[in-house]
Amino acid sequence: MGEFELIRQYFAAASCARTGAGVVLGIGDDCALLNPPSGNLVAVSTDTLVAGVHFPEVCDPALLGQRALGVSASDLAAMGASPLGFTLAISLPQAEADWLQRFAAGLNQMAEQCALPLIGGDTTCGPLSLTLSVLGHVPPHQALQRSGACVGDLLCVSGPLGDGGGALPLVLNRSLGDSEAERYLLARYWAPQPQLGLGVALRGRATAALDISDGLLADCGHIAAASQVCLVIDQEQIPYSEALQRIYRPEQALQYALSGGDDYQLAFTLPPAQLPVLQAEGWPIQAIGWVEVGQGVQLQTATGHRITPAVRGYDHFERGS
Residues near Mg ion, by CB under 5 A: 122
Query: Per-residue x/- mask for ligand ADP, residues 20 to 59, rule CB under 6 A?
Result: -------xxxx-----------------------------
Across the chain, where does the E strand assignment appear? 23-25, 33-34, 41-50, 82-92, 118-125, 129-138, 154-157, 208-211, 230-234, 266-270, 286-292, 296-300, 306-307
Rank residues 123 and 252 by Cβ distance to ligand ADP and give the closer one: 123
Rank residues 112 and 122 by Cβ distance to Mg ion and give the closer one: 122
Rounded-to-10 torsion of CA 123, 124, 129, 130: -20
| Minimum distance, C-beta of residue 124 to Mg ion, in the bound complex (Å) | 8
- Does 19 bind ligand ADP (CB under 6 A)? Our answer is no
| Minimum distance, C-beta of residue 20 to ligand ADP, in the bound complex (Å) | 16
Rank residues 118 and 218 by Cβ distance to ligand ADP and give the closer one: 118
Rank residues 33 and 53 by Cβ distance to ligand ADP and give the closer one: 33
| Minimum distance, C-beta of residue 123 to Mg ion, in the bound complex (Å) | 8
Distance, in Å, from the CA atom of 103 to the CA atom of 55, rounded to the nearest integer, reads 14
Task: Break the chain down into helix, strand, coil percent, rounded to 5.
Answer: 35, 25, 40
- Hey, which residues between 97 and 136 contact ligand ADP (CB under 6 A)? 118, 120-123
- Does 88 bind ligand ADP (CB under 6 A)? Our answer is yes
Q: Left, alpha or beta for 296 (phi > 0: left; psi -120 to 50: alpha)?
A: left
Q: Are 172 and 75 in contact (CB under 8 A)?
A: no
Binding residues for ligand ADP (CB under 6 A): 7, 11, 27-30, 88, 90, 118, 120-123
